[in-house]
Amino acid sequence: MSEFDYDLFVIGAGSGGVRAARTAAATGARVAVAEDRYLGGTCVNVGCVPKKLYSYAAHFHDAFEDSAGFGWNLPEAPRFDWATLRDNKIAEIQRLNGIYGRLLDGADVRLYNARAHVIDAHHIDVAGETVSADKILVATGGWPWVPDFPGNEHVVDSNQVFDLDTFPERFLVLGGGYIAVEFASIFNGLGSSTHLIYRGELFLRGFDREVREFTRDEMAKKGVQLHFETNIECIERAQSGLQVTLTNGEVIEVDAVLAATGRKPHLQSLGLDQLDIVLNDDGTLKVNEAYETSVPSILALGDVTGGPELTPVALEEAMHMVQHHFTDDPPRNLDYHNIATAVFCHPNIGTVGLSEEEAREVYGNIRVYSADFRPMKHTLSGSDERCLMKLIVDDASDRVIGAHMVGEEAGEVIQGIAIAVRAGLTKADFDVTVGIHPTGAEEFVTMRSVTRR
């Protein structure tokens, strides 16, 4: 008989926590999960899922305009109803919450609807009860961070923006990361007069420079008003909205301000600070290859550990963690190279592997192939939206080390390309692959001329 109530106690029922709980339970481990907010975590409730639904909604604006060139005549101007989108989103998330609950129940995982507090290396206080566990897993994800400036109480964060009472006809986004860029595109597409404020000279730092510049130009063409190298000095409530004063002296009046300025690990009130657990410089939990913190019985994965803040990464980490601690299989370490990602701005970005700048630093001699073109669809739609596709090749080995796209359904296209990049295929492999015609994606296998070296 084990000396502990549970073999694994998971704090946080997000994507990583639920996957870890179910996978560990499948090995025969006795598992419990504590969650004080909502099942499914950030992704399901205030992240990937509602964001993508809102992105779909925003794309209809362009679709209605594009349809005229294909012979469609709308009898009247389309009207957008915010409440319908918002409430349908709520219903879908409630459905997903129920699925997560049933998954845990079906795996025989006990769910505590409460915030857990770690007492020591093997004990947790949850819902007024003290329970023990051989391993404690922290998978509480991140929480939006809002900078300190006069009037910041008037902003909404990326958790709150989905459920605004009324639709903001004038909208301002503060930030330069993917969340900021996505919401600027979304509200612009839904019909808001949209501003994006970023303190740097160009948003999406860390992405390929050409991709960033191309995205900037395409977003501006769609009407997003971009303000770089400035910040919010203060916000005051005015009679007809919010008056936002920028550090460059400009004053903008809007109906809502979104602070998309990053997320920090959601570790408050967990009690970990009492255990002297070692942190990374950014305040995330420092872990080894087995997801162990400096207190070996306390594990952590997902956004709280400072790795890529991506749901599929947390899911993979969960499965690797279970393999390390609950199976006899030889442990494998997760390879964080060549993880594909997408940014659901308009147009979308899809990317995998190294940026051109990173490739020059790592490999030195590279070849860059790129195609910047007007998609076939827009020869009739009349839209001036363009598409960018780009391959980066190591000159010595001919291996494709980076692939990037800005254009419609870029994430869908890059998912397949990511397999090729991860498999180490060469440019010659791409060249002998027969394209699918007529598609935009065929450009990835028909680019023959070197754009630059």
- Going by C-alpha positions, the residue among 202, 151, 206, 196 that lies closest to residue 175 is 196
Half-sphere exposure of 41 (CA within 13 A, CB side): 28
C-alpha–C-alpha distance, residues 22 and 105, integer Å: 9
Long-range contacts from 440-447, C-beta under 8 angstroms, 24+ separation: 440/373, 440/375, 440/376, 440/387, 440/389, 440/407, 440/408, 440/413, 441/413, 441/416, 443/371, 443/373, 443/389, 444/389, 444/391, 444/403, 444/413, 444/417, 447/369, 447/370, 447/371, 447/389, 447/391
C-alpha–C-alpha distance, residues 432 and 281, integer Å: 46
Q: Which of 61, 123, 337, 437 is catalytic?
A: 437
Token pair 């900037």 in the structure block, residue? 216
437 an active-site residue? yes
Map out the domains of the chain as residue ranges.
6-143+264-326, 152-261, 341-446
Tell the CATH topology of 152-261: FAD/NAD(P)-binding domain (3.50.50)
Evaluate whether 342 touches 311 at the Cβ level (below 8 Å). no
Q: Which residues of the chain have pLDDT under 70?
A: 1
pLDDT for the residue numbered 177: 97
pTM of the model: 0.96
- Going by C-alpha positions, the residue among 386, 290, 301, 370 that lies closest to residue 331 is 290
Find the DSSP H helices in 327-426: 356-363, 378-381, 410-422
Token pair 């980490």 in the structure block, residue? 317
Long-range contacts from 271-278, C-beta under 8 angstroms, 24+ separation: 271/117, 271/118, 271/119, 271/125, 272/118, 272/138, 272/298, 274/118, 275/118, 275/120, 275/121
Predicted confidence (pLDDT) per residue in 94-116, tens digit: 999 999 999 999 999 999 999 99
Residue type, position 82, single letter: W
Write b or e for each residue in 276-305: b if 16 or more Cβ atoms lie within 10 A of its Cβ, otherwise e: ebebeeeebbebeeebbbebeebbbbbbbb
Between the alpha carbon of residue 326 and those of residues 15, 315, 331, the distances in Å are 19, 16, 10
pLDDT for the residue numbered 340: 97
**In this structure, which CATH number among 1.10.10.10, 3.60.20.40, 3.40.605.10, 3.30.390.30 belongs to the domain 341-446?**
3.30.390.30
C-alpha–C-alpha distance, residues 150 and 442, integer Å: 51
pLDDT for the residue numbered 136: 98
One fold for 152-261 and 341-446: no
Evaluate whether 351 touches 193 at the Cβ level (below 8 Å). no
pLDDT for the residue numbered 332: 84
Counting every residue written for the chain, the total comes to: 453
Beta bridge partners of 393: 367, 400
- Going by C-alpha positions, the residue among 182, 141, 165 that lies closest to residue 345 is 182
pLDDT for the residue numbered 330: 85
For residue 183, what are its two tokens?
Answer: 């919401």
pLDDT for the residue numbered 217: 98
Between the alpha carbon of residue 443 and those of residues 64, 284, 409, the distances in Å are 27, 41, 14
The mean of the pLDDT values for the chain is 97
Query: Within a 10 A sphere around the Cβ of 70, how many other Cβ atoms?
Result: 9
For domain 6-143+264-326, the CATH superfamily is FAD/NAD(P)-binding domain (3.50.50.60)
